[in-house]
Structure 1
Amino acid sequence: MTAAERAGDVLVLGGAGVDTIVRVPELPLPYADSYMIDSGIRTRAGQTGDFVALGLAALGLRTHHLDFLGDDPEGDLVRALHAGHGITLTALPQPAGTKRAVNLVGPDGRRLSLYDTTRGHPGDRFPEATLRALAAASRHVHVTITQPGAHALPVLRETGVPLSTDLHDWDGENPYHEAFAHAADVVFLSAAALADPERTMRRIAERGRARTVVATAGAEGAYLLADGALTRIPAARPPAPVVDSNGAGDAFAAAFLYGRLAGEPPERCARYGAIAGAHACTVPADRADAIGRNELLRRAAAPSH
């Protein structure tokens, strides 16, 4: 069986890598010559594409992940993560090495990420034949905003497969994000850097293809723009103490897409997303864990969560 024949429900493009987690006493971190990190400094696989793929697989969706990986210990961590969770991975060789980041995590779960931008080349491209075959064998494609994904967008649009993307903390102005925002059918982003989330969301819908735009707002819930109507989605109650917000947006996107592929209306999809995001905030940064389908549906059926 070829990789394309195994693609299944969702193809995730890009965003594979490794994070080094450092728990710090506060953010921003005041200057000092040194800090003693009693909780340990840990490196684990899991960047945005990994976490979306993990969330989708935990919800029972057949998931395929395509990205560049180095022949290095970090790449081995990524490969092991996918193998351990039953996620099919097509790893293209990356001589510059596997993507890496350092995440400083504060006591309240907020994080500051430092990304190593040397782990790639401007000319990196997903092979067109591979891209077309995997997309054609999938019900949906989720495109991370890493650089090869931008060049994949025209090919993906030609396939006719529905697309989603996550713009993360876009400020609504950076032109790099616009190609992703205007090509996708479903757009996720964070409201953190937006002075007027509704205005940005409506501009995405007016200028692009998206009929659904979601702006997550942490403890304040999320904004959902679906077919021109704006709805506020309340935050879900975390099932345990909040320890780390890393991966919460990816969990939201995965659960939203699960609902969409199951034929649920947008508000129900957003409720799934809020529940999954709240769950992710209770998972320590050095673990890769996602809410399962039975637990998601149980919490969604409860009168409060």
Structure 2
Amino acid sequence: MSQDIDVLVLGGAGVDTIVYVPELPLPYADSYMIDSGIRTRAGQTGDFVALGLSALGMRTHHLDMLGDDPAGDLVRALHRDRGIALTAVPQPAGTKRAVNLVSPDGRRLSLYDTSRSHPDDRLPEPTVRALAEASRHVHVSITQPCAHALPVLRESGVGLSTDLHNWDGENPYHEAFAYTADVVFLSTTALSDPERTMRRIVERGRAEAVVATAGAEGAYLLTDGELTHIPAVTPPGPVVDSNGAGDAFAAGFLFGRLNGEAPHRCALYGAAAGAYACTVPSTQAGAIGRDALLAAVAEPAQGVPRP
């Protein structure tokens, strides 16, 4: 079958309502005046990975469940406006949504509405199989119903990646994703011993590379048994929001991997893409382009070029 898709992104479509707050944690008060406004925009983890890959020139297709509701319309419009192919499976419970509280220093607290999915949700197996077989790579979000699609994806023989986000290394829900993917991303946020968790992923699964992002401290790459620190890239402007930085890192890394780059250089691409994402306000959906990314890695001491 012709592989006319570079990356199929599975899951993670939804909308976020952004609220800029004076500080986090937010002290209790009867009310707060939000002068910056409260805005709802399309873009959750799968949307941002798809956006990042597409901005880098990768042929990208996104598959997920969406509701027939205003939130779903926002997601469909985002993909249409950015030229990203989208296959939307009807979701009677409605489109996934969250509220993000963002502090002045760019930190985020997310409140996820779990009523918009159910354990028995399924993506149609024939659709998953056909799109996987037409793809060079599949990036799998850990949202429902992607867990049920993992066996079909593995049978297809396509390369897989996943992002475990703030996994604590113990929650069993994440293990199927961690031990099935060839490339695993996660955050160090909830890990007491990141290296131990990373090595366990390799030992129990099939990962060729594990990347643990650590915010301003950079990231850690485990490949071929060697753990390497990847320094953070200087952002091209003020850090206004960390939302989407991990998704941008994944997109940058996969761009390098699918272009035959070594894992360390892939991680540098990821660091540059993540740094750029931190300068994009939560209320917007933006991603670094191919030329800017290549320039950032060619001259890492100068950080990410300004757009």
Scaled by the length of structure 2, the TM-score of the pair is 0.97
Partner Cα distance (2:133, 2:237) in 1 = 40
User: What is the CA deviation profile of residues 254-277 of structure 1, one whole-angstrom value per residue up to 9, with x for unaligned ones?
Assistant: 000000000000000000000000
Partner Cα distance (1:188, 1:287) in 2 = 24
Which runs of no fewer than 5 residues in structure 1 stay unpaired? none
Residue number in structure 2 paired with 1:95:
92
The alignment status of 1:155 with 2:144, answered yes or no, reads no
Q: 239, 247, 252: which is aligned to 1:250?
A: 247
The alignment status of 1:211 with 2:208, answered yes or no, reads yes
Residue number in structure 2 paired with 1:50:
47
Residue number in structure 2 paired with 1:115:
112
The alignment status of 1:186 with 2:183, answered yes or no, reads yes
Contact 1:7–1:88 at 8 Å: present in 2 too?
Answer: no
Residue number in structure 2 paired with 1:199:
196
Residue number in structure 2 paired with 1:232:
229
CA displacement at 1:6 relative to structure 2: 8.4
Amino acid at match of 1:279: Y
Contact 1:68–1:92 at 8 Å: present in 2 too?
Answer: yes
Contact 2:3–2:136 at 8 Å: present in 1 too?
Answer: no
Q: 270, 273, 278: which is aligned to 1:276?
A: 273
Amino acid at match of 2:293: L
User: What is the CA deviation profile of residues 61-81 of structure 1, one whole-angstrom value per residue up to 9, with x for unaligned ones?
Assistant: 000000000111110100000
Amino acid at match of 1:17: G
Residue number in structure 2 paired with 1:139:
136
User: How many equivalent residue pairs?
Assistant: 302
The 5-angstrom pairing of residues 28-43 of structure 1 reads 28-43=25-40
Contact 1:102–1:113 at 8 Å: present in 2 too?
Answer: yes
Task: Give the share of equivalent positions with the same residue, in percent.
Answer: 79
SS in structure 2 of the partner of residue 118 of structure 1: helix
Partner Cα distance (1:290, 1:5) in 2 = 28
Residue number in structure 2 paired with 1:64:
61
SS in structure 2 of the partner of residue 284 of structure 1: coil
Amino acid at match of 1:195: S
Residue number in structure 2 paired with 1:86:
83
Q: 117, 125, 128: which is aligned to 1:128?
A: 125
Partner Cα distance (1:54, 1:18) in 2 = 14
Q: 276, 296, 299: which is aligned to 1:299?
A: 296
Which runs of no fewer than 5 residues in structure 2 stay unpaired? none
* Superposed CA RMSD: 1.0
Scaled by the length of structure 1, the TM-score of the pair is 0.98
Residue number in structure 1 paired with 2:10:
13
The alignment status of 1:265 with 2:265, answered yes or no, reads no
Partner Cα distance (1:274, 1:167) in 2 = 17
CA displacement at 1:121 relative to structure 2: 2.1
Amino acid at match of 1:144: S
User: What is the CA deviation profile of residues 223-272 of structure 1, one whole-angstrom value per residue up to 9, with x for unaligned ones?
Assistant: 00011111000000000000000000000000000000000000000000
Residue number in structure 2 paired with 1:25:
22
Contact 1:238–1:282 at 8 Å: present in 2 too?
Answer: yes
Amino acid at match of 1:278: A
Partner Cα distance (1:150, 1:241) in 2 = 37
User: What is the CA deviation profile of residues 40-77 of structure 1, one whole-angstrom value per residue up to 9, with x for unaligned ones?
Assistant: 00000000000000000000000000000011111010
Residue number in structure 2 paired with 1:222:
219
